Amino acid sequence: MIVEKLAIVGTGLIGGSFALALKQAGAVRTVFGVGRNPASLDAALERGLIDRVVDWAETGQADCILLALPVGETAAVLKKLVPHLKAGAIVTDAGSTKVNVVATARAVLGERFADFVPGHPIAGSEQSGPGAARADLYQGRKVVLTPQVDTRADALATVTALWQAAGAQVETLDADLHDRVFAAVSHLPHLAAFALVDELAQRADGDTFFRFAASGFRDFTRIAGSSPEMWRDIALANRAAVLTELDAYIAALQALRSTVSDENAEALLAIFSRARAARIHWADTQA
């Protein structure tokens, strides 16, 4: 399958890597770039992620349009796009939350909602911007699509084929389950890492603490280097599930606190042993 014209709205790590992978796979002919940040578009052009910078009218003439932006910008971008959408154009997204993106797309796209394929590539990095884009970012990674009952089957098939051409393994999930799962395994860890680093940074003697932080701290807090705008949008877009996960995590930490306070050596060993076994089992499934 070859897509003649692909448009990328937001030519950063996610959008740029998608374009690069599809170019290398020969799955797209021409890639348009559009976005609010001229420096990012220039860098994307220079790196060959996109072939041309276009306006919204020309974006609407693409065969497939990927939104690769913080989810908070979905409504504004779709509003700019919808008057220009040519017949048959497919719109998809790479947002980290899906229920709110689906609701927004349904509201803004109206009868064109059938052409919208909600998606979420499970890849990324604390790096961002077109400079971080890589052709192999999606190689072997999962991409979750959350099609709705009225999503056009051929739009879903095209988006699936594009992600597969980029090297990804495509799965479909109910949007609500998607949001609950990623609140737990992605959104919560990001918030927990941000909270830990900020709490230390706020201390008057914080420098003494950071000075002795080592590899455990480095890995635990790597994701605290992620884009603040993106994570603000995710926390708000998936608020209910994120609050549920924060509550579950705070409760788990309070239970652990009681166990330490009670000097319950046996219970501590049980918690740590279960966690270690689960972590090792998980790592084995990833290998």
Q: Which of residues 235-254 bind a copy of itself (CB under 8 A)?
A: 235-236, 239, 242-243, 246-250, 252-254
| Closer CB to a copy of itself, 60 or 72, in the complex | 72
Q: What are phi and psi of 49, to 5 degrees?
A: -70, -35
**54-93 mask for a copy of itself (x: CB under 8 A)?**
----------------------------------------
- The answer to whether 275 contacts a copy of itself (rule: CB under 8 A) is yes
Examine residue 220 and tell whether it contacts a copy of itself (CB under 8 A).
yes
Q: Are 133 and 106 in contact (CB under 8 A)?
A: no
Count interface residues toward a copy of itself (CB under 8 A). 89
Q: How far is the CB of 170 from a copy of itself (least distance, A)?
A: 13
Decide: is 278 part of the binding site for a copy of itself (CB under 8 A): yes
3-state SS, residue 255: helix
Paired tokens of 112: 């064109």
Instruction: Between 103 and 256, name the residue whose CB sits nearer to a copy of itself.
Output: 256
Calculate the CA dihedral of residues 56, 62, 68, 72 and round it to 10 degrees.
40
d(C-alpha 151, C-alpha 105), whole Å: 12
Smallest Cα–Cα separation from 94: which of 181, 194, 5, 10? 10
Q: In sequence order, what are the residues at sequence separation of 6 or more whose Cβ sits closer than 8 angstroms to the Cβ of residue 174?
A: 146
Q: Which is nearer to a copy of itself, 56 or 249 (CB)?
A: 249
SS3 174: coil
141 binds a copy of itself (CB under 8 A): yes
Q: Quick one: 2 or 251, whose CB is closer to a copy of itself? A: 251
**Residues 162-181 as x/- pattern, contact with a copy of itself by CB under 8 A:** ---------------x---x
* Residues whose CB falls within 8 Å of the CB of residue 72, separated by 6 or more in sequence, listed in order: 229, 232, 233, 236, 237
The least CB distance from residue 252 to a copy of itself, in Å, is: 4
Residue 208: which residues within 8 A CB-CB, separation 6 or more?
A: none
With binding defined as CB under 8 A, does residue 272 bind a copy of itself? Answer: yes
Piece of 61-69, 78-86, 98-106, 233-241 that binds a copy of itself (CB under 8 A): 233-241
Residue 246 beta carbon to a copy of itself: minimum distance, rounded to whole angstroms: 5
Stretch that binds a copy of itself, among 59-67, 97-105, 154-162, 279-287 (CB under 8 A): 279-287
Tokens 């994570």 sit on residue: 231
Residues 108-127, interacting with a copy of itself (CB under 8 A): 122-125
273 binds a copy of itself (CB under 8 A): yes
Map the footprint of a copy of itself across residues 189-218, applying CB under 8 A: 189-202, 206, 208-218
**Exposure b/e, 109-134, CB count within 10 A at least 16 = b:** beebbebbbbbbbbbbeeebbbebbe
